[in-house]
Amino acid sequence: MLFRIKKLLVFLTIFFNILIFLNIYPLIKPGILSAVSPLRVMKNNNSNNDKRVSRLISDIFFYNECEPSEFKKPKILPGSQKGLYLTGYSMGIESRRSNIYDIIEKTELNTIVFNVKDDSGYINYDTNNDFAISSNAKIVTYDIKKIISEMDEKGIYSIARIVVFKDPVIAKKHPEMAIKDSRDGSPLYSEGSYWPDIYCEDYWNYIIDIALEISQMGVNEIQFDYIRGPARGNVKFADYTFNKNNITKSEAICNFLKKAKEVLKHTNVKISADIFGFVLIENNDQGIGQMVEEIAPYLDYLYPMLYPSHYSKGFMGFYNPEEHPFEVVKYSLEKGFPKIEGSKCIMIPWLQAFGLKVKYTKDDILSQISASEQLGINGFLFWNASNDYTIVEDALIERYKLKGLID
């Protein structure tokens, strides 16, 4: 009888040890997706709640213990910027800004690109730059300190867009700095604008001073746009009078970026630039001064503008390339990767969130992202000039659903 009691006690001890182990093991090894104790299974079976839960980390999805609506955003690692473009006007309207914050909260987006100096040449924040003020280039549309504080609080990566060599304000106010029209010596009008001379170092200093001022306000990244000469219009009449040493346009662009990098190196800000998508494909500067191999060493990030609507009829054999976003984006990136080899520059594409001849759908949005991800790119930026990102929001929510992350 005593032997049977001892045997029963041993059995019960082993049983309860196993039961305790099964309950504490998931706490010790949280990375095991299927580690679920018998007690937890019983608890879940008695509940009508489907606790399908998830977390998104660098585009790798796995199950963990949190409600689907409470997924945590990953830390923004280099190259994982996923964002939307906003004008200075949109940034200044609290309701529009809040709407974008809401989209970011509900999706994997983590970045906002916003105008600091816009396509018209105006500075959109309350700059103290004397040259901008005396040139009447300051039109304040938002409180820069407030929006940077908001983005920091929400964990949003901030990219300040500075339009460089398209600047009708300065070109008209200071015609001595402008590209000249060889026919009469007046500022050249091309692509619907006047342009400062890409060789003019006084103008470089103005742009770099703005970048430095913004970097000291805590923005994460400076993005230079229009780092080029005019591409269409009266370009055959363009007279670059500041090109005293007969250097190429691409050398001028590189010298500007080199100087910007030198001035900004003591800040924590990253430096990036937008380029035409087609310069990834061709082995020349397209007549505008953009050579990927030459500018990449001066940049942390390179953002090619891969809008399928901007590729000409017959590209890749397509009658309308806008109808083939996956193929256009993937082909362009594949051609461009070898050009940044050896540099520390990371390439992230600008993608199309609008339609010209084609009304873009969720599938078109997702196919562009897929084309990038298949090449190992973790980030993307979406452009819509009117800042309407409903289709992007719908597509990214659909992406979550496809992954089984939300109901």
Q: Which residue in the block uniquely carries the two structure tokens 């780092």? A: 227
Cβ atoms 56, 63 nearer than 8 A: no
Report the amino acid identity of residue 295.
I
State the pLDDT at residue 396. 97
Burial 166-181 (b: 16+ CB within 10 A, else e): bbbbbbebbeebbbbb
State the pLDDT at residue 246. 95
Please state, in angstroms and rounded to a whole number, the distance separating the CA atoms of residues 226 and 330: 23
Beta strands in 354-399, from DSSP E residues, in sequence order: 380-383
Q: Which tokens hold the place of 320?
A: 């309308």
Write out pLDDT tens, residues 281-315: 999 999 999 999 999 999 999 999 999 999 999 99
The answer for residues whose C-beta is within 8 angstroms of residue 118's C-beta and 6 or more apart is: 87, 88, 124, 163
82-402 has which fold? TIM Barrel (3.20.20)
The answer for residues whose C-beta is within 8 angstroms of residue 208's C-beta and 6 or more apart is: 259, 260, 263, 264
Decide: helix, strand or coil at residue 357.
Answer: coil
Please state, in angstroms and rounded to a whole number, the distance separating the CA atoms of residues 63 and 143: 40
For 116, phi then psi, to 5°, come to -105, -45
Regions of the chain short of the pLDDT cut 50: 2-3, 19-72, 407
* Domain boundary assignment for the chain: 2-70, 82-402
Angle at 372 between CA 370 and CA 374, to 5 degrees: 65
Please state, in angstroms and rounded to a whole number, the distance separating the CA atoms of residues 290 and 304: 11
Q: Which tokens hold the place of 290?
A: 């953009």
Please state, in angstroms and rounded to a whole number, the distance separating the CA atoms of residues 24 and 228: 61
Own/partner contacts of 87-93, CB < 8 Å, gap of 24 or more, are 87/114, 87/115, 87/118, 87/387, 88/114, 88/115, 88/116, 88/118, 88/122, 88/124, 88/125, 88/141, 88/142, 89/141, 90/114, 90/387, 91/115, 91/124, 91/141, 91/142, 91/147, 92/124, 92/141, 92/142
Q: Which residue in the block uniquely carries the two structure tokens 């809401």? A: 102
Please state, in angstroms and rounded to a whole number, the distance separating the CA atoms of residues 353 and 407: 25
Please state, in angstroms and rounded to a whole number, the distance separating the CA atoms of residues 61 and 89: 36
Q: What DSSP element (H or E) covers 56?
A: strand 55-57
State the pLDDT at residue 75. 72
Where helices occur in 184-223 by DSSP H, the ranges are 201-215
State the pLDDT at residue 401. 79
State the pLDDT at residue 402. 72
Q: Which of 320, 315, 376, 323 is nearest to 352 (CA)?
A: 323
Please state, in angstroms and rounded to a whole number, the distance separating the CA atoms of residues 83 and 108: 9
Residue 250, burial from CB neighbour count under 10 angstroms (0-12, 13-18, 19+) = buried
Q: Which of 214, 193, 342, 198 is nearest to 257 (CA)?
A: 198
